[in-house]
Structure formats: C-alpha cells, structure tokens
Amino acid sequence: PHPAWEACANILYSSFTERPKHLDPVQSYSENEYSLIANIYQPPLQYHYFKRPYELVPFAATEVPRPQFFDAKGKRLPDTADAKDVAWSDYVIRIRPGILYQPHPAFAKDVQGRYIYHDIKPGDLAGVHAIGDFKYTGTRELLASDYVHQLKRLAHPRLHSPIMQLMGEYIVGLKELAEELAKAAKGKPNDAFLDLT
C-alpha cells in the first residue's frame, strides 16, 4: 500500500487493530489510543528512548523532580528517610518556558484581547465544517496549571477515567475532589459546566 520509493526510506509504518474510542487522556485506556495521544499531548516526563533499564527524562519539565518526604505530622524528612516513616511525598515539577499550544481557533483573540469564538451561536457556524474553516487562530504558552487541570479532570463525575481509583490512592485530595464534584453535578443536566478551579 506504500509507494515503491519509500521502500528504502527510514519510515516505520504501523496500523490500528481497532478505531480509537477516545483521544482524551483522562478516558483513554488502550494502546492504539495512546500511540496517537503521545503525539498530541506533551507530558512533563518521558522514558529515555534507548536506555534500559528504563530511565525517566524531562520532556515538558525542566528536570526530573526529586521527592521531598514528610512524616504524618508534616515534618520534612531527609532524602534518606526509611519508607515506613514517610507519610507523604511532595514533587515540584517546573515546566519549561516557551512551549506553545498548536494554533487553534479556541485561542483566537481580537485586538482587545477577548476570545473571538468563545461565545458563538449555532448560526455562526454556517460554512464551518473543519477547524481550517475558521478565519482566526491563536496560541498560548503551556502552564503548570494546565497539568493540574488535567489531573482534576480525572475526578470529573461525567468522564469515566479508568485510572481514577488508582490515582486517588497517590494524589492527595483527588478522592475528595471526586466526591465534591459528584455532589456539585447531582441534579444538573449532563452538559452542565463544572468548574474544576
């Protein structure tokens, strides 16, 4: 199925065993989805491509974070603390400056700095069938708060996340956030906005 001239090129072809169901990292859980997601979203860390055993290296982060350990009373413990003394750990991840989102109509602003397409009506979409049909696009810098927002989305009651239960055991406050969001969503329409901030 590939052109003959590509036979000697340095190209890897692959195929999907099934169509991806989600490209939302919160809801995705299969290998074929993650092969696409890995090309869309930039995680803070990644594994070094060649090193074995596996080694984490920075990707969007400035460096691989080192944990700070604390006991049950909140007292900082030395880096050499015994695991039985550690009640929780804190990781500070600094994001590399200058990473921009791909240009998209959702980021387009007018000269006053207002978003152009955030308050569109159905009639405004006449003739718009693809992202390229929008006249304006914009971008912005990736922020650490974007990663925090994505973690909070794990707890969203209308997004089924296959890893929420597991991550709730490791991210302090995630289970409580899930309970709070479930209460906030109760009795509201399925498309009602839930403010994760």
Predicted confidence (pLDDT) per residue in 66-103, tens digit: 999 999 999 999 999 999 999 999 999 999 999 999 99
pLDDT digits (tens, 9 = 90+) for 181-191: 999 999 999 88
Q: What angle do CA 115, 116, 120 make, to 5 degrees?
A: 110
Give yes or no for a contact between 26 and 159, defined as CB atoms under 8 angstroms apart: yes
Q: pTM, whole model, 2 decimals? A: 0.82
Q: Strands 68-70 and 45-47: what pairing?
A: unpaired
pLDDT at 155 over 80: yes
Q: With contact defined as beta carbons under 8 Å apart, do 46 and 39 qualify?
A: no
Report whether 61 contacts 45 (CB < 8 A): yes
